Amino acid sequence: MTMTMNGAYFNGLDQNGLAIALANIPGSVTTDYILFSLEVPSGTSADINFGLSTIVLATGGHVTSATDKLLCSVVRAGVDKGKCQRVWLSIGSGGSSAFTNIQTILNTGGTLRSTLLANFGAIRQAITGVKTVGFDMDYEESGDLASVVANVTIALYNAFQCPVTFCPFQKWLQSKWIAALQQVYSTLGTQPVVGYNLQTYSGGNGNDPTDWTATIASAKNTGVSDPASFVWPIVSCDPTATPVSTPGQVVQKLQGWSSKGGSLWAAASLSNPPASPTLTDYGNAIFRGIHGS
C-alpha cells in the first residue's frame, strides 16, 4: 500500500492543545491526524491512558468520556471543518513504557490480553467519519526494539487489519527498524506498515530521509514495495523540539529530500487564536513540498 502523508501530531489535548487544535483546524488541508498519545501504564492492567497522564481513555473493553473529549472532538472537527481522512493513534513517547507493558500483557495472554485489545478496539470504534484508524509506533524505550515493535504491530494487525506507521528517530537504530519490518512481513505474509514518520528534530536532528530510504531499498524481505514513498519527515514548529522550520523552510526541505509525505510536530505549539504560521500554513507547505508546486 502506497499513500501520501500530510500529517500533524495533535498533542497536549488534556491541556491547552485541545483548544489550539480546534481553533486551527477549520480550513486546514491536513489529511492525517496523529493523536499523541496512547499509554499502557501497567503490565498487569489493560487500561489505556492518555499520554503520561492518569486520564483513562478505555477500560474493561469500553471507552470513557475522555476518549470523546480528547480524541473524537478533534477528529470530528477535522472531518467537518478540515480535510481529515485518516487517524493514527500514536503509541509511546519519551518517558513511556507502553511497549514494554503491552509486550508483558501479550505474553500473559488470557483475559488480560483480550481486554487490552478490546480497549484498543473500543477507541478505534469511537472514531468515526474517516477512511481508516491505524497506529503510529513511537518506540523510545531501551529494550529489544525490533522484536517488541514487531510483536505489537502483529498483534494489532491481527486484531484490526489496520495500517501501521513506524516513528523512528535515532539513525544508529536503522537496522533495528528494518528488522522489525522484516519480522512483521515474515510473520504476516503481508506488510501493514505503510511508512516511517521520521523525526528530523530533537533526537532526530540531522536525519537525512534519503539515507533512511536507501537503507530500506537495500534491505531484503521487508515487504516495502516503494522505498522512495515510504519515508515521511516530521518537521517541527515546537520551540522545545529544534530545529523549528517555517512553512517556507518545510517546502524547501521536503522538495530537497524528494519526500512523498510529511508531518508537523506538533499542533499544541501553534497559536490560539490562529496567527501565522497556522496549521493551514503548514499543511499547505507540506502539500507544496511533496507535490513540487
**H, E, C per residue of 84-122:** CCEEEEEECCCCCCHHHHHHHHHHHCHHHHHHHHHHHHH
Question: What does the pLDDT read at residue 280?
Answer: 98
The percent of residues in the chain predicted with pLDDT above 90, rounded, is 98
| Amino acid letter, residue 52 | L
Strands (E), the chain: 5-10, 32-39, 48-50, 56-59, 62-63, 86-91, 132-137, 164-166, 193-199, 231-236, 261-265
- Which of 290, 191, 161 is CA-nearest to residue 231? 290
Residue 64 grid coordinates: 470513557
Question: What does the pLDDT read at residue 1?
Answer: 58
CA distance 243 to 200: 8
Q: Cell 508537523 belongs to which residue?
A: 264
Q: Are 11 and 267 in contact, with CB atoms under 8 Å apart?
A: yes
Question: What does the pLDDT read at residue 195?
Answer: 98
Q: Which residues contact 43 (CB under 8 A, 6 or more apart)?
A: 100, 101, 104, 105, 108
Question: What does the pLDDT read at residue 293?
Answer: 65
Question: What does the pLDDT read at residue 3?
Answer: 86
Residue 274 DSSP label: -
Q: Are 220 and 249 in contact, with CB atoms under 8 Å apart?
A: no
Question: What does the pLDDT read at residue 192?
Answer: 98
Question: What does the pLDDT read at residue 292?
Answer: 83
Q: Mark the ranges of the chain whose per-residue pLDDT is less than 70.
A: 1, 293
